[in-house]
Amino acid sequence: MANKATMIVDKDFVIGDIDARIYGSFIEHLGRAVYGGIYEPGHPQSDENGFREDVLELINELKVPIVRYPGGNFVSGYNWEDSVGPKSERKHRLELAWRTIETNEFGFNEFVDWAKKANTEVMMAINLGTRGMDAARNILEYSNHPSGTYWSDLRREHGYEQPHGIKTWCLGNEMDGPWQIGHKTAHEYGRLAQESAKVMKWVDPTIELVACGSSNIVMPTFPEWEATVLDHTYDHVEYLSMHQYYGNREDDTPTFLARSLEMDDFIRTLIATCDYVKAKKRSKKKMMLSFDEWNVWYHSNEVDSKMDPWSIAPPQLEDVYNHEDALLVGCMLISLLKHADRVKMACIAQLVNVIAPIMTSKMGGTWRQTIFYPYMHTSVYGRGKALVPLINSPKYDSKEITDVPYLESVAVHNEELGEVTIFAVNRHLESELLFEIDLRSFGSCTLIGHTVMECDDLKAANTEQQPDRVKPHNNGNAVVDGAKVTASLVKASWNVIRLKV
């Protein structure tokens, strides 16, 4: 066979321990993510709180460990006090980020309740756009202080005797972006983030904080923004954020599927910037990364540009994902795993309806988008240690990116279960790829299964009427001979090869 790729993995050559939070997600007060997504009172499958249990079932399939909330651009105009207390007294507000009306019917405490039911942690974002350190310390006191103060006792009055105990907090959102409410320079944001972090940790020293990095890799201030922000915040935060979305606007699939290489460059550049500041400060602390917005996003742009403003929870950013989108999402997940030593949290944006793996219809059903499957597979089977992949693969040149390997792959070793899982994408659009894996350090292996996601139509998508148009099957052809695994990867396919070692 003309196309052949090999990979050697050794159990002692470890990239890093995989933090489960790398498989996090995101719920923003945007479109139908909340209203009509996770929350729809009166729906036949909603519980007494209005939480859609059919949606929760799919979220539980994904095993989502942490969810960022409430934004996103939304948070930069968010008055958190509007969202707590009796619903009849909550204020309706113009929501300037997405030009809608926010009723605040679903608020902070409702999200905490929902997160418990979804078996996930909360990554709470604070408003550093229109507000600052005072609101930041107050919401943290409301959330995490036991009792005996104004804000903690107010939480108790609202029916929550015990603190919420939220441990992960984002210091604003995309503050480098001119589109952001309260857009700031790096120095302005860095000082505000530093002082907010300081008082928040005085309220609760056990929390972890995420400072805003650049909104994407093409921002004109990248990576100078990060260097300046970290100059101010390095001693006060644990993570620096990253955001990146990709789209196939030119219908150039070879380039589109290569975009994860740009994601790798983005991560490497940010690591280098963090380590520069570490050296500059003579610090012993290693800054970790939170890739807390990532996905494919472009399908809905034209429709969204025509939306009439000031309605309540209109459909927005409702990308319908196809097979090639799932392949790139798989490649992006592999990129996250290849940097598991520094990327400790990540959030696919978003979780339901809004550029999401899960879709719903109003008073109707739910279905899995194509991107649901690589996300689920990595979240469920990608726990343990990420191993260094020594790959030799044929390559191609696209219109924009050169030296693109047809094979994208990584291995994960779960010592507790005695398993190795190989995640692999064949980027070749016309040919199978013979894949040989050398697991020499593991001794004899046995095959648990080989799952394949393939489709002859790259543009095929799942809908409510055809929810299983594109879905994986378990009929992969992987064969094990001692410590060697051989598989023929179907063209344009996502593959999960699970082995007992």
Please say if 415 is a catalytic residue: no
Say how far apart CA 199 and CA 481 lie, in whole Å: 59
The pLDDT tens digits of the residues spanning 47-89 come to 999 999 999 999 999 999 999 999 999 999 999 999 999 999 9
In the chain, what is the straight-line distance between the N-terminal and C-terminal CA atoms, in Å? 28
Say how far apart CA 131 and CA 76 lie, in whole Å: 8
Residues 6+ apart with CB under 8 A from 250: none
To the nearest whole percent, how much of the chain has pLDDT over 90? 99
Q: Residue 366 has what DSSP assignment?
A: E
Say if residues 437 and 422 touch (Cβ distance below 8 Å): yes
Tokens 């109707």, residue located: 364
Give the three-class secondary structure for 61. helix
Look at the alpha carbons of 336, 10, 64, 138 in this order and tell me if their dihedral is positive or negative: negative
Say how far apart CA 458 and CA 364 lie, in whole Å: 27
For the chain, the farthest-separated pair of C-alpha atoms sits apart, in whole angstroms, at: 72
Asked: is 4-9+388-500 a CATH 1.10.10.10 domain? The reply is no
Tokens 């598991």, residue located: 340
The amino acid at residue 397 is D
**pTM greater than 0.85:** yes
Six token digits for residue 477: 């052809």
- Which among 28, 226, 293, 454 is annotated as catalytic? 293
How big is the CA angle at 174 (ends 168 and 175), to the nearest 5 degrees? 105
Residues in a beta bridge with 35: 39
How many helices (H) and strands (E) would you count in the chain?
A: 11, 25
Say how far apart CA 448 and CA 383 lie, in whole Å: 16
Closest Cα to residue 194, out of 251, 239, 252, 233?
233
Closest Cα to residue 169, out of 233, 125, 121, 120?
125
Please say if 250 is a catalytic residue: no
Closest Cα to residue 261, out of 459, 71, 400?
400
The amino acid at residue 173 is N
Tell the burial category of 266 from Cβ atoms under 10 Å away from its Cβ (0-12, 13-18, 19+). buried
Say if residues 501 and 420 touch (Cβ distance below 8 Å): yes
pLDDT of residue 2: 60
Domain segments of the chain as ranges = 4-9+388-500, 19-381
- Which among 174, 318, 408, 419 is annotated as catalytic? 174
Give, to the nearest 10 degrees, the angle between helix 323-338 and helix 259-280: 30
The pLDDT tens digits of the residues spanning 178-206 come to 999 999 999 999 999 999 999 999 999 99
Give the three-class secondary structure for 200. helix
Mean pLDDT of 81-101: 97
Six token digits for residue 133: 């350190």
Q: What is the DSSP string of 140-170?
A: HHHHH--SSSHHHHHHHHTT--S-----EEE
Six token digits for residue 203: 């309220």
The pLDDT tens digits of the residues spanning 248-292 come to 999 999 999 999 999 999 999 999 999 999 999 999 999 999 999
Residues in a beta bridge with 377: none
Six token digits for residue 337: 């795993």
Say if residues 191 and 89 touch (Cβ distance below 8 Å): no
Six token digits for residue 331: 């490649």
User: Across all residues in the chain, what is the average pLDDT?
Assistant: 97
The amino acid at residue 445 is C
Look at residue 92 and tell me whether its pLDDT is greater than 90. yes
pLDDT of residue 462: 98
Say how far apart CA 233 and CA 210 lie, in whole Å: 10
Q: What is the DSSP string of 289-304?
A: EEEEEEEE--TTHHHH
Tell the burial category of 474 from Cβ atoms under 10 Å away from its Cβ (0-12, 13-18, 19+). exposed
pLDDT of residue 339: 98
* Backbone angles phi and psi of 348, in degrees to 5: -65, 130
pLDDT of residue 254: 98
The hierarchical CATH code for the domain 19-381 is 3.20.20.80
Q: Which helix (H) or strand (E) holds 211?
A: strand 208-211
Banded model confidence at residue 490, pLDDT cuts 50, 70, 90: very high
Say how far apart CA 239 and CA 72 lie, in whole Å: 17
pLDDT of residue 1: 46
Banded model confidence at residue 209, pLDDT cuts 50, 70, 90: very high
Integer-rounded Cα Rg, in Å, for the chain is 23
